[in-house]
Amino acid sequence: MAAWRIPDEVLAGAEDSPWVLPRHVFTGRTDEQIAHPGGASFTAAHSALVPPGSVLDIGAGAGAASLPLADRATEITAVDTDQQLLAEFRRRAEPRNVAARTVVGQWPDVADQVEPVDVVLCHHVVFNVAELGPFVEALTAHARRLVVVELTERHPLTALNPLWRHLHGIERPTGPTYADAVAVLAELGIHPDVVRWRRPPRAEHPDFTTLLDITRRRLCLPRSRTDDVAAALAELGYDRGTTPDLGSSGDDVVTVTWRP
């Protein structure tokens, strides 16, 4: 994780914070999953909720992992550090006839505020966890039936590596990967089921201008370099009809599940 630190000299040239949280990406993913639930993670969790049971969603955002399970969930508890995204979760949970609770904070710091549940979900969080052991142990301790962890095959920020190389001349890390996370689980005595799958590509930003601005900020480039970023994105095949969010997820996905 320390290898992902942005060099001081690059960070000093940033006009805008590179730590971008595009909330519209997370709400859009939630709405898409509610309308069209699918993927190996959804299937595993949905199957585990027979009979219906309670769900805990760690790093819930707006509820993309948990709200599609509302037809079999007796209660959903969403944990996240972002209060605005938790408000979006509550707004989407209200019409779905499921008891919903939110907890603001970081896992496992807030683990003592949450009771054990039947199914624990944790999607696209583990690559941001410095100490994975205590994090995973708290997930397992709160699950009665199943833990479902979803992550990309490798750290999602690697999608920006060609741009860092082209625009800064900097080589960024190529990992960690899902295999590193599975190795940590093995050290903890957990031998999970692992399913690799591919999510269909989708537009995640409302327009190319938004993709361009967020990517420029993540690369710590000033606004005067916007045209350079646009040209580099075009060389990689991203244009005004292709607006994925580079750096917060990816299409090569892995579902890791285990029973407590």
Q: Look at the pTM and tell me if it is higher than 0.85.
A: yes
3 pLDDT band (50/70/90 cuts)? confident
Per-residue confidence (pLDDT) for residue 115, from 0 to 100: 97
pLDDT tens-digit map of 66-99: 999 999 999 999 999 999 999 999 999 999 989 9
Give the ranges where 36-131 is alpha helix by DSSP (H).
Answer: 40-48, 83-93
Per-residue confidence (pLDDT) for residue 232, from 0 to 100: 96
Query: Helix or strand or coil: residue 44?
Result: helix
Mean pLDDT in residue range 32-61: 98
Cα(251)–Cα(180) distance, rounded to whole angstroms? 19
Distances (CA, A) of 239 to 1, 72, 215, 220, 243: 31, 40, 13, 21, 7
Percent of the chain with pLDDT over 70: 100
Percent of the chain with pLDDT over 90: 90
Mean pLDDT in residue range 114-126: 98
Terminus-to-terminus CA distance in the chain, angstroms?
27
Look at residues 248, 254, 207, 199 and name the one whose alpha carbon lies nearest to residue 82.
248
What rounded mean pLDDT belongs to the chain?
95
Per-residue confidence (pLDDT) for residue 191, from 0 to 100: 98
Domains of the chain are 2-258 (3.40.50.150)
Per-residue confidence (pLDDT) for residue 164, from 0 to 100: 97
- The one-character DSSP state at 129 is -
Mean pLDDT in residue range 158-172: 96
Per-residue confidence (pLDDT) for residue 1, from 0 to 100: 76
110 against 247, higher pLDDT: 110
